[in-house]
Amino acid sequence: MIGFLRGLLLHKQPPILLVEVNGVGYELEAPMSTFYALPDEQSEVALYVHLIVREDAQLLYGFSDQGQRQLFRSLLKINGVGARVALAILSTFSPREFIHCIHLEDAAALTRVPGIGNKTAERMIIDLRDRIDAQAYAQEYDAVSGAATEHAAAPDNPVQDAIGALMALGYKAAEANRAVNAVKQQNRQRDDLIRNALQYLAKR
From CA 77, how far away is CA 119, in angstroms rounded? 15
CATH class held by domain 4-63: mainly beta
Indicate where the chain has its CATH 1.10.150.20 domain(s).
67-145
- Residue 118 — φ and ψ, nearest 5°? -60, -45
Indicate where the chain has its CATH 2.40.50.140 domain(s).
4-63
List the one residue out of 75, 53, 50 whose CA is nearest residue 61: 50
Right CATH for 67-145 from 3.20.20.70, 1.20.120.1200, 3.10.20.740, 1.10.150.20: 1.10.150.20
Indicate where the chain has its CATH 1.10.8 domain(s).
158-203
Name the residue with higher pLDDT: 187 or 139.
187
Residue 97: count other Cβ atoms within 10 Å of its Cβ.
16
pLDDT tens-digit map of 69-92 = 988 998 999 988 999 999 999 998
pLDDT at position 110 over 90: yes
The pTM is what?
A: 0.72
For residues 35 and 191, is the Cβ–Cβ distance under 8 A? yes
pLDDT band at residue 49 under the 50/70/90 scheme:
very high
pLDDT for res 145: 40
For residues 196 and 186, is the Cβ–Cβ distance under 8 A? yes
Return the CATH number of the domain spanning residue range 158-203: 1.10.8
Q: Which of 2-6, 30-34, 67-71, 149-153 has the lowest mean pLDDT?
A: 149-153
pLDDT for res 187: 61
Average pLDDT, integer, range 165-193: 82
pLDDT band at residue 165 under the 50/70/90 scheme:
confident
